[in-house]
Chains A and B, each alone.
Chain A
Amino acid sequence: MPTIVTGNCKGCRFTDCVTVCPVACFHGDAEMLYIDNNVCIDCGACIPTCPVKAIYEEGDLPDDQRMWIVINAERAPTLPNITDKEAALPGAEARKAELGF
């Protein structure tokens, strides 16, 4: 069952998730991260690390977020691998508050 990064990451990009990933399956563009599910082992370690709860196991994905399954699958393999924590995007804290976290 894939693990999926959803839209809450967009505009935040806290990247705490990459520090716990034992298989380095996160990839990113300027806006957000995506999981390469050919590499992810579904261990779930990243899910609780996200300050804005952007990451879900597929089974727990809310219905209005299901399009992210395809987006992760398409984009992750084409983007650079992110393995070290990076600075969050400017405005990430404000967005986090806006998202209710």
Chain B
Amino acid sequence: MFERLPAPYGLVRYGVAPDHPKLKEPIRVYEGIARNPQFRLLGNVTVGRDVSVDELRAAYHAVLFCSGAETDRRLGIPGEDLPGSHTATEFVGWYNGHPDYRDRQFDLGQEVAVIIGQGNVAIDVCRILAKTVDELKHTDIAQQALDCLAESRIREIHLIGRRGPAQAKFTTKEFRELGELAECDAVVDPADLELNPESRAELEERSGSVAKKNMEVLGGLAGRTSRGVRRRVFLRFRLSPVELRGDGRVAEVVLERNRLEGKPQQQTARGTGQRITQACGLLFRSIGYKGVAIPGVPFDARQGVFPSREGRIVDDAGVLIPGLYASGWIKRGPTGIIGTNRADSLATVTSLLADVASLDTGPKPGADGVGALVSGHGPRVVTFADWLVIDRAEVERGAPKGKPREKFTRLEEMLRLVEPLS
């Protein structure tokens, strides 16, 4: 398993929100797999930079990509790059101590934050902004993020959805949590919950059971009275951002009211031309995710995935490339949760095992060959045994603070632990 960071576990470590510790439990399953003597971790190695895909293909009989969806989709509106406008990816990486994002700055001195998008990542960002330090301090949130959040002056968070409440993509559980925060009220405008006949029809279909539950939770929130607490999160629907404005930094977002058009299950948001201006000192976009190309692998730039059939990677013409496979978000795009991706990996591995006889069966050096290649000209390869040293040190660092771990957020900090300074 090749991993560009010295730490394994990808999104379970760097994506799952720190206040959802149960969702990090699959790490224990991964640890069990990693202890299989047939398994080798080659961490701190970037495929496409430190080792090429062709070199991997020369060293292994098959190569399976599980590189996920690393970048955000852009809004494509004027002002998107004003200071104060960020991707959810950056913020999530920051609070989770991802080395790429640990030095990002977010102006939490602002009072109004706007989040574009209503998926589970958007809700995570919202919840972390909304929670008090007491609600976060015993999680594995990065200390530097917790220190900044402690000084936060955010009072309002607006969670903006393009379509209506019946089409929202969050799961009921994630969303129920927003109604259970210590110092933040969730606010829903009852007018937003009025549905068109097509949306009502969607709720009545079997596939509409989650949406139906979401509507019940929203209805409950709409009926609540304010507790007069420090913060409020506004769940808002049928709105699309059309412009960010500000003098030198974002100060307001112009939103266009949408109506839904189309048949049930196929409704799309169409602008009505009616615009409203929303104050906005801090903006996060979370409207979808895309994979990143790796040299030597076909890439569908529009979908942000490696094109494949049943997990077998195909070229632009749809021709199979023997020995290359994909699983997870780089295969299907950014849908589904951890368990969905387990089923996806099973499907891909089933394809791979069915192909074994037809793959190039000549001898291949495997990790030994690649390890030599990498250490000849590249970074220090981090093995699973090395990772366990880093892991233990993180857990020890967290213990005095009552945290399950305090992550190392710089590559040098991690590498120093496994490599005596010379």
Contact = CB atoms under 8 A, between A and B. Distances in A.
Given A19-B346, A20-B342, A22-B342, A41 B337 contact: no
Interface in A1-58: 1, 19-24, 39, 41-46, 48-49, 57
Contacts of B339: 20-22, 43, 45-46
A44 B210 CA distance: 11
Contact of A23 (B25, B171, B173, B213): B25
Contacts of A22: 26, 29, 338-339, 342
A20 B23 contact: no
Contacts, number: 46
Contacts of B337: 43-45
B388 interface: no
A60 B209 CA distance: 11
A42 B171 CA distance: 12
B343 interface: yes
A24 B29 CA distance: 8
Nearest to B210: A48
Interface residues of B, number: 18
Interface string B346-366: 100000000000000000000
Interface string B24-48: 0110110000000000000000000
A43 B342 contact: no
Interface of B is mostly: helix
Contacts of A49: 343
Classify chain A's interface size: 10 to 19
A20 B336 CA distance: 10
Contact of A45 (B25, B28, B213, B340): B340
A45 B173 CA distance: 12
B171 A45 contact: no
Given A22-B26, A23-B25, A42 B173 contact: yes
Contacts of B28: 23
Nearest to B21: A41
A84 B274 CA distance: 53
Contacts of A24: 29
Interface in B147-171: 171
B22 interface: yes
A41 B342 contact: no
Interface in A45-88: 45-46, 48-49, 57, 60
Nearest to A24: B29
Contact of B23 (A39, A41, A46, A57): A41
Contact of B340 (A1, A20, A39, A60): A20
Interface of A: 1, 19-24, 39, 41-46, 48-49, 57, 60
Interface of B: 22-23, 25-26, 28-29, 171, 173, 210, 213, 336-340, 342-343, 346
27 contacts: A1-B173, A19-B342, A20-B340, A20-B343, A21-B339, A21-B342, A22-B26, A22-B339, A22-B342, A23-B28, A23-B29, A39-B25, A41-B22, A41-B23, A41-B26, A42-B22, A43-B337, A43-B338, A44-B171, A44-B337, A45-B336, A45-B337, A45-B338, A45-B339, A49-B343, A57-B173, A60-B213
